[in-house]
Amino acid sequence: MKTLNTLKNNILRSIAVLAVLFSLNSCETLELEILESPNALTPASSDIDFYLNAMQLNMASFFNGVKDEGMQLTRMSHLYGPFYENAYSTTQMSGPWNSAYSNIFTDYNNMVPRAAEKGWETHIGIAKFIKAYAMITLVDYLGDVPYSQAALGVENLNPGLDSGASIYDAALALILEAKQHFSVPAQSPSNDLFYGGSRANWSKATGTLELKLRLQRRNAADSNDATAINALIAGAADNLITTSSSDFQFKYGTLNASPDSRHPAFVSNYELAADVNDYMSNAYMAEFVAQKDVVDVRANYYFYRQDDDVTDNDDNEIPCGNERRPSHYALSDIFCYIGYNDVTPSESTSNGYWGRDHGDNDGIPPDGGLRTAWGLYPIGGQFDDGSFTSTSGQDMGLKGAGIQPILLSSYTHFMIAEWSLANGDAETARQFLASGLAESFSKVTGFAAEMGAAGAVEFRSGASVDETAFLGSLTDNINAYIDYVAGTGATSLWNTTDDKMGLLVQEYFLALWGNGVEAYNTFRRTDKPTDLQPLLKTANNDMIQSFFYPRTEVDNNNQLTQKGDHLVKVFWDN
């Protein structure tokens, strides 16, 4: 039997041992306030310039997220389809939607008040410009979207819709405010990726955005727009982007990792040798190389041919090669490839422009080293010197140092031309068409030099395009082209066509390579051109008038119901 004493001693001893053990880590073990993550900063430690950098990068990724759809629908690039009703799933717009609201809007809300405290007007102006661009484009693609209740976080988890027209008004107000911000000298952003701190250029971009906005809604009556547009045009040199030195474009670099700073389309098409991901549009390429009696030198900059002849490949590599032209394709429509001979397919000819028809959703044959790729402009790929060799990987051309062409000088000229033509001034329209073409050609042919790598216009041994001849006749070819299309001569297309607007818009499309936003908008605004290649599988031309709301938005926002179909028009489209 134990005595009471030893019992007590044992208890005390064991408690002491346990207490020592426990106290070794008791303090931190019992801490209950571990709420701030050590893995990120708190909003209070943000940096205004870093916020502005994020907004500029998001501007580029937002634009990148919408440009392809616009190009696909206007036959500038290939649409898989096969029908408009199922060409895109309801997740298609999720990326740009979230990029606009949860990145651009939220960062705007956090940055602007802090910049205002410091009086950093330029920062605020840029932020307003970017926010306005995103809002306008969301309306253009989706119609009515949340705005006044958007990006409020916990305060409103179910933002309702605002009308597209009211959002346009709100965006216009932001643009006009931005212009004021750019008019006062202020602290320059530490990184201005667009204009290197030039407030004058920002002011021109703002004016051009205003022109774009007002022109876009010209069919939806607004009494002030005409006056404002005319005023912008009258002072174009100060108000608008009229020369390429003030182009509003996002420039990429050549760094391929940490961080990958190259043009996204370059990465997906040139990362691996002979493994091109995108298909060019047959109809669009034909506009450059088959539909006119003049040479369009832009073809060598826009497209890179990997193969010299489509016809010598077997049918499984180019499956349409043994298929018949669909009955709803007119003979003037391109089918399968340029030079396809309906009557005697075996006598078809080809010049290596290997793309796809609108809505061709066939599986992918092993043609990654054969199909035509994006070229030098605007994604920073390879110049087409007629070598007809497969892409060799990521060291080609400008190595990805391309641009997102958001608002270029040529676009301004085309917009002014459209405005003039719509208001009955055909001669002014012709002049701006001609100057727009000139801007486009000089931009494209001077692109490598502009990006600081003139040597990227490269003629390799084995090239079928002769360097001296090509470069020597470059200016002549450009002038001949402009003359042919928009010359004063009686035989110019301009003077012979009944459909001047159709011609103007078609030429605008050819200048818009890389920018589907303006193409898609202009197409719906003008209903031109009228002779675009039909879908491969159907004659129905029930083109997408606006995109579906993102599925995650509809599923999680009880103020939103999905549109009935893809034919809902946006407010300015009538």
Partner 1 sequence: MKYTRIFLVFLLSAGFAFGQRTVTGVVSDPDGLPLPGATVIIDGTTSGVTTDFDGNYSIAVEEGVSLVFSFVGYESQSVVVGSQNTLNISLSEGNQLSEVVVTALGLEREARSLGYAVTTVGSEEIEQKGVADVARTLTGKVAGVNITNTTSTSGSGTNVIIRGMTSITGSNQPLFVVDGVPFNSSTNGESGSFWNGITESSRFLDLDPNSIEKVDVLKGLNATVLYGQQGRNGVILITTKNGSGARPSAKGTEVTVSHSTFVNEPVLPDYQNDYGGGFHQLFGFFFSNGGPNFDPAINDPRQFGPYYLREDANNVYVKHPYDYIANRSLVEPEFADLVGTEYAYRNYRGVENFFDPGLVNTTSLNLRSSGDNGFFNMSFGRTDDEGFTPNNRLRKTNFGIGGAATLENGIRINGTLNYANTDYTTPPIAASLGSGSVSSYTSSIFGDVMYTPRSVDLMGLPYITSDGRSIYYRSGNDIQNPRWTAENAFDAELINRVFGTFGAAYDINDNWTLAYKYGIDNTSQFSEHAQNKGGVDGNATGIYVTSDEIRTIQNHSFTLSFNDQLDEDWSLTALVGADANRETYTGRGTTNENQLVFGVLKPFNFVSQSANSYDSEQNIYGAFADLSFNYNDYLYLNVTGRQDWSSTMEAENNSLFYKGASLSFIASDVIPALSGDIVNYAKLRVGYGESAGFANPYRTRSLLSLNAKAFDPGSGVIQSNTTSNTLGNEALEPELLSEVEVGIDTRLFNFLNFNVSVYDKNTTNLITTRTLPGSTGFTSTTVNAGKLNVKGVEVDWDANLVNNGDLRWNLYGNFTAEENLIESLGEGVQEFTYTPVVSSSRPQNYAIVGYPLGMMKANVRQTNDAGEFLIDDDGFYIETTEPELVGDPNPDWTAGLTNSISWNGLSLDFTWQYRHGGDMFSQDAATLVGRGVLNPGTVREGLYVLDGVNKNTGQTNTTQITAINYGFDIFSFGPGELQIFDATTIRLSEVNLSYDFPRNLLERTPFGSLTATLTGINLFYDAVNVPDVVNFDSNVLSTGVGNAMGLSFITGPSSRRVGLTLKATF
Q: Which of residues 141-160 bind partner 1 (CB under 8 A)?
A: 145-146, 149-154, 156-159
Q: Which whole-number Å values give the CA distances from 478 to 31, 293, 326, 415, in the listed order?
A: 75, 13, 36, 21
Q: Contact at 8 Å (CB) between 429 and 504?
A: yes
For 404-443, give one letter per residue: b (16+ CB within 10 A) or e.
bbbbbbbbbbbbbbbbbbbeeebebbbbbbbbbbbbbbbb
Subset of 50-89 contacting partner 1 (CB under 8 A): 50-51, 53-54, 57-58, 82-83, 85-86, 88-89
Q: What span, in angstroms and rounded, lies between the C-alpha atoms of 355 and 278? A: 9
State CA 561 to chain mean position distance.
Answer: 27
Q: Contact at 8 Å (CB) between 551 and 90?
A: yes
The neighbouring-strand residues paired with 249 are 405
Subset of 364-403 contacting partner 1 (CB under 8 A): 365-370, 389-390, 392-394, 401
Q: Between 50 and 431, whose beta carbon lies closer to partner 1?
A: 50
Give the burial class of 344: count Cβ atoms within 10 A of its Cβ; 0-12 exposed, 13-18 middle, 19 or more buried.
exposed
| Binder among 64, 80, 102, 497 for partner 1 (CB under 8 A) | 102
In whole angstroms, the minimum distance from the beta carbon of 553 to partner 1 comes to: 5
Q: Between 415 and 536, whose beta carbon lies closer to partner 1?
A: 536
In whole angstroms, the minimum distance from the beta carbon of 312 to partner 1 comes to: 8
In whole angstroms, the minimum distance from the beta carbon of 469 to partner 1 comes to: 27
Q: Between 3 and 224, whose beta carbon lies closer to partner 1?
A: 3
Subset of 524-543 contacting partner 1 (CB under 8 A): 537-538, 540
Q: Contact at 8 Å (CB) between 320 and 335?
A: yes
In whole angstroms, the minimum distance from the beta carbon of 175 to partner 1 comes to: 22
Q: What span, in angstroms and rounded, lies between the C-alpha atoms of 293 and 277? A: 31
Q: Contact at 8 Å (CB) between 93 and 70?
A: no
Q: Give the interface segment with partner 1, choosing from 124-132, 239-247, 269-277, 418-426 (CB under 8 A).
A: 269-277
Q: Contact at 8 Å (CB) between 306 and 385?
A: no
Q: Between 446 and 502, whose beta carbon lies closer to partner 1?
A: 446
In whole angstroms, the minimum distance from the beta carbon of 150 to partner 1 comes to: 5
Q: Give kind and range of the element (H or E) at residue 249.
A: strand 248-251
What are the backbone angles phi and psi of residue 259, rounded to the nearest 5°?
-100, 150
Q: Between 14 and 488, whose beta carbon lies closer to partner 1?
A: 14
Q: Give Rg (Cα) of the chain.
A: 29
Q: Between 85 and 499, whose beta carbon lies closer to partner 1?
A: 85
Q: Between 88 and 513, whose beta carbon lies closer to partner 1?
A: 88
- CA count, 13 A, side-chain hemisphere, 119: 4
In whole angstroms, the minimum distance from the beta carbon of 257 to partner 1 comes to: 4
In whole angstroms, the minimum distance from the beta carbon of 77 to partner 1 comes to: 20
Q: DSSP 3-state assignment of 404?
A: strand
Subset of 437-476 contacting partner 1 (CB under 8 A): 452
In whole angstroms, the minimum distance from the beta carbon of 345 to partner 1 comes to: 15
Q: Binders of partner 1: how many residues, by CB under 8 A? A: 121
Q: What span, in angstroms and rounded, lies between the C-alpha atoms of 92 and 348? A: 37
In whole angstroms, the minimum distance from the beta carbon of 413 to partner 1 comes to: 27
User: Does the footprint of partner 1 cover residue 266 (CB under 8 A)?
Assistant: no
| Binder among 41, 184, 454, 567 for partner 1 (CB under 8 A) | 41
User: Does the footprint of partner 1 cover residue 114 (CB under 8 A)?
Assistant: no
Q: Give the interface segment with partner 1, choosing from 64-72, 177-185, 257-265, 511-519 (CB under 8 A).
A: 257-265
What are the backbone angles phi and psi of residue 141, rounded to the nearest 5°?
-90, -30
Q: Between 138 and 297, whose beta carbon lies closer to partner 1?
A: 138
Site string for partner 1, 185-204 (x = CB under 8 A): ------x-x-----------
Subset of 277-336 contacting partner 1 (CB under 8 A): 306, 314-317
Subset of 399-428 contacting partner 1 (CB under 8 A): 401
Q: Between 187 and 497, whose beta carbon lies closer to partner 1?
A: 187
- CA count, 13 A, side-chain hemisphere, 368: 15
Q: What span, in angstroms and rounded, lies between the C-alpha atoms of 434 and 414? A: 9
Q: What span, in angstroms and rounded, lies between the C-alpha atoms of 307 and 314? A: 13
User: Does the footprint of partner 1 cover residue 105 (CB under 8 A)?
Assistant: yes
Q: Between 169 and 275, whose beta carbon lies closer to partner 1?
A: 275
Q: Between 276 and 444, whose beta carbon lies closer to partner 1?
A: 276
Amino acid identity of 469? A
Q: Between 317 and 425, whose beta carbon lies closer to partner 1?
A: 317
The neighbouring-strand residues paired with 77 are 280
- Count of Cβ atoms closer than 10 Å to residue 17 Cβ: 10
Give the burial class of 52: count Cβ atoms within 10 A of its Cβ; 0-12 exposed, 13-18 middle, 19 or more buried.
buried
Q: Contact at 8 Å (CB) between 281 and 78?
A: yes
Site string for partner 1, 11-30 (x = CB under 8 A): x-xx--xx--xx--xx-xxx
In whole angstroms, the minimum distance from the beta carbon of 404 to partner 1 comes to: 13
- Count of Cβ atoms closer than 10 Å to residue 243 Cβ: 14
Q: What span, in angstroms and rounded, lies between the C-alpha atoms of 449 and 109? A: 39
Subset of 495-524 contacting partner 1 (CB under 8 A): none
| Binder among 64, 80, 110, 473 for partner 1 (CB under 8 A) | 110
| Binder among 5, 258, 344, 461 for partner 1 (CB under 8 A) | 258
- Diameter over CA atoms, the chain: 127
In whole angstroms, the minimum distance from the beta carbon of 149 to partner 1 comes to: 8
Q: What span, in angstroms and rounded, lies between the C-alpha atoms of 131 and 95? A: 16
In whole angstroms, the minimum distance from the beta carbon of 199 to partner 1 comes to: 19
